[in-house]
Structure 1
Amino acid sequence: MKSVAFIFSHSPYGCNIGREGVDSVLSASLVFKKIGLFFVNEGIFQLIPNQQPQKILLHNYLLLLELLPIYGIKTIYCCKKSFKDRGMSNINNLSFNVKYLNPKDLKKYINNYNFIINF
């Protein structure tokens, strides 16, 4: 069975790439049984709960991340160094499991997928 890894490396509201990535993940879940979500660099900001993008006249597409378990995606992977570099601690109040990995281990996980798509 083919597998696909989605890497999110951009902040959520600077452009539409994050929204497009989440839409792609949900669509791919209908085709692929093994999907991995990896949040690195600025992409970790997409996981911060209680964001209020409507204050800058944008839609809160991050609510779609809460649907991941329904689509069979139970664990996401985050770069531990990305959190540390930005002075953040781990995010714990999400509806899915988050596994924090150092960059070397993150790369090993990503290399286990047939396709890699970066957003």
Structure 2
Amino acid sequence: MINVLVISQSSPFDDLNIRDALDMTLIFAAVDQNVSWLFSGPAVLALKKHQQPNSIGIKDFFKNIKTLEIYDVENIYVCEKSLFDYGLNKHDLLIAAQTLNFSEQQTLIKNQKHVVNI
């Protein structure tokens, strides 16, 4: 298996970057890659519970993030500082995720064969 890391750093309300990252993560998982997903910056907002994107005209694909466990995508990471910056903690998230500080994020990145930054 090849280690692949998908990094999301943009707001879930801009373009379709988070949706594209979700699709890519599921594709990597479907072809038996060891895929991880790191949420950083405003991308952490994609994991926030109780959102209503339909109210601002965005299709609710956030609930699809919960399907990651069906595909055995267990390596979900969030930037510790980004959670703090947006007033969130691990209990505010849709799915279980491991928080990483900057140093731990750098180690994670170094341990990957491929890194996709969306």
Per the normalisation by structure 2, the TM-score is 0.91
List structure 1 runs of 4+ shifted beyond 4 angstroms. none
Tell me the percent identity: 26
C-alpha root-mean-square deviation of aligned residues, in Å? 1.5
Q: 1:8 aligns to what?
A: 8
The 5 A counterparts of 1:72-91 are 72-86=72-86, 88-91=87-90
Task: Name the TM-score, length of structure 1 as normaliser.
Answer: 0.90
* Aligned counterpart, 1:29: 29
Distance, in Å, in 1 between the alignment partners of 2:55 and 2:4 is 34
- The 5 A counterparts of 1:33-72 are 33-72=33-72
**Structure 1: gaps (5+ residues):** none
Once the two structures are superposed, residues 30-86 of structure 1 have per-residue CA deviations (whole angstroms, 9 ceiling, x without a partner) of 123311110111111111011111112211111111001100012311111112233
Instruction: Tell me the distance in 1 between the aligned counterparts of 2:95 and 2:32.
Output: 19
Shift of 1:95: 6.0
Which amino acid counterpart does residue 98 of structure 2 have in structure 1? K
What displacement does 1:28 show? 1.3
Report the Cα distance in structure 1 between the residues aligned to 2:94 and 2:14, rounded to whole angstroms: 25
Alpha carbons of structure 1 residues 54 and 89: separation in structure 2 relative to 1, 3 Å: closer
Tell me the matched-pair count: 118
